[in-house]
Amino acid sequence: MTVRERLLAAAAELIVEKGWGAVSTRMLAERAGVGSGVVHYHFDSTPAVLVEAATGALRASLAGLPDLLATAHRPDDALDVILTALDEAGGQELFTETFLAATRNEDLRRAVGDVLAEFRRTIATWLAEHDVPTPEATAAVLAAALDGVMLHRALDPALSRALVAPVLGRVLR
């Protein structure tokens, strides 16, 4: 793992721990185990580290989804696949932090918009192939609902997959 990669990993951790606006260059350097000046050697600015770390984490956690989704044949299976993938991605608060930060950073907004569009397209394609009505709208709402569930789960662990899946499954009918 290069120093650059360690800095990006540290950024992903610290965004979740401290919040997007409270991550400093010295925190990043300390977490990565390097001197404080190295951040501006590898990156243009502190926000640039956060943006690259967040978009990378988003893309990584969604990279395997299309293949996984291909194994699902019924709506309940598809929802289970998606929820499992998001569970394993871990640190789901990073998603929410990144969305909020994207409302204040144009570069990040574009990157997040691209990832979200791809996620929606993956879901919508599966829905259309399995005769779910209004696949685009359903995919858009499902993506938003999943984000909301991940956020609420951070405050209320009782919002388990077993509780969520049957209810969200109704939108796929």
Per-residue DSSP letter, 54: H
What does 157 interact with, of DNA, a second copy, none (CB < 5 to 8 A by kind)? none
46-54, 73-81, 82-90, 94-102 -> range binding a second copy (CB under 8 A): 94-102
Show the binding pattern over residues 116-155: x = contacts a second copy (CB under 8 A), - = does not: x-----------------x--xx-xxxxxxxxxx-xxxxx
37 binds, among DNA, a second copy, none (CB under 5 to 8 A by kind): DNA
**Touching DNA, residues 44-103 (CB under 7 A):** 45-47
How distant is the alpha carbon of residue 88 from its chain centre? 11
* 104 counts as binding DNA under rule CB under 7 A: no
Is-contact 69 122, C-beta < 8 A?
Answer: yes
End-to-end CA distance of the chain: 45
Q: What's the CA gap between 35 and 27, in Å, rounded?
A: 10
Residues whose CB is less than 8 angstroms from the CB of residue 165 and which lie 6 or more positions away in sequence, other chains included: 76, 79, 80, 83
**Residue numbers at the binding site for DNA (CB under 7 A):** 2-4, 23-27, 29, 34-42, 45-47
